[in-house]
Amino acid sequence: MIPNELIPNVSASQSFSDRWVRTNVVPFYPSTKIRYLLVGNEILTNPDVGTWFNLVPAMRRVKLSLRKFRLHKVKVGTPHATNVLESSFPPSNGTFRSDIAVRVIKPMLQFLNRTRSFMFLDVYPYFPWAAEPSNINLDYALFQAHNVTYTDPLSNLTYTNLFDQIVDAVVFAMKRLGYPGIRIFIAETGWPSAGDVDQIGASIYNAAVYNRNAVKKLTAKPPIGTPARPGVVIPSILFALFNENQKGGPGTERHFGLLYPNGTAVYEIDLSGQTPLSGYKKPLPPPTTNEPYKGELWCVVAAEEGSANETALAEALSWACSQGKGICDPLQPGGKCSKPDSLSWHASYAFSAYWAQFKKLGGTCSFNGLAALTAKDPSKLGLLCNWTFAYLVLLAGCLFPW
């Protein structure tokens, strides 16, 4: 994969593209079975920073570079999150976003069609389900709904799982732009085995059920396909092999792996698809997070006192304090929460203050892995500052969040 930040360079210069391929692909081919070269990752998900309209020109240059070095079997593509769609329900109403449909997606589809490549998609039923757990059946999202189906009123196609709905929405969106036959490759799919206290449905049980069922579906012979493309093979990659324990963001981001960082299995799974779902020996722990968490939460330093990287912790504390007016005022000398005078305590207070103030705007309790959510009130751990009292401080004009 060509990193996102290099796309403008590749787009602007054929010689740059040639050098990148000569350095990163040619020395390893064919001893390494390189089949796909992806240009960037989910480029169209975030606001444009100079890459959107360079994406397709970069893909064209990379394909020319591969031809120059006689690497004719390597396909070029780019993976998309499903938010490239403006409409996805019902699936037959699938439509690409208006800001990218004509200027980016259509020329991309033309390129993929001409080079016989794939539309690469990152498909995560977990996220739409977690956003609307009261409206989407969990078993439907996990490929195990026995009595739940959805019939598209326009296409009259009947769906038995959320994965197929998402994929077919893209199929119909491509058809709407005049490219009904481009193949789909699932670049990522998976389910988190754990997450923050307030992240619904992230459990070993749900992750194992989803991935086992996904493998069963995607390796079936003859192939199952989707309602819009029955019997069609869908090449797919599970995300991910390892838990990315150093990754930032919400807790789920660090728990999509089949393996822990030390190489042990999070749960049993047979990637050949041959093991029946009843054939796994070790029972799965019952899920405990299938309902939304309703209690109070605090964002605190994840490591015990003295074990965190003090330099990184000090930088995170400083950053949190700089994000909102008055966030760290109670930590100043003589302030309500200035004692105990420890880096870990002050960071925990600042993290919680930041998270409570900005979580509705997209703020997370991560701080590059230094923080974690807890349901235990820190003021009841024998510390001098009563964090519950801080709510009264807020009413008095301080921005601290309780």
Smallest CA-to-CA distance from 228 within 296, 297, 180, 298 is with 180
Phi, psi of 254 (to 5 degrees): -100, 10
Among 5, 42, 132, 310, the active-site one is: 42
Phi, psi of 81 (to 5 degrees): -80, 160
Amino acid at 257: G
- Distance between CA atoms of 384 and 378, rounded to whole angstroms? 10
List of residues 6+ apart from 281 with CB closer than 8 A: 268
List of residues 6+ apart from 362 with CB closer than 8 A: none
- Report how many helices (DSSP H) and strands (DSSP E) the chain contains, helices first: 11, 14
- Distance between CA atoms of 330 and 353, rounded to whole angstroms? 10
The yes-or-no answer on residue 188 being catalytic is yes
Smallest CA-to-CA distance from 168 within 238, 104, 228 is with 228
Whether the upstream peptide bond of residue 90 has omega within 30° of 0, thus cis, is yes
Among 86, 132, 188, 315, the active-site one is: 188
Contact yes or no for 109/177 (Cβ under 8 A): yes
- Distance between CA atoms of 24 and 64, rounded to whole angstroms? 15
Handedness of CA 185, 191, 193, 199 (dihedral sign): positive
The yes-or-no answer on residue 132 being catalytic is no
Q: Which residues on neighbouring strands pair with residue 366, listed in sequence order?
A: none
Catalytic residue numbers read: 42, 188
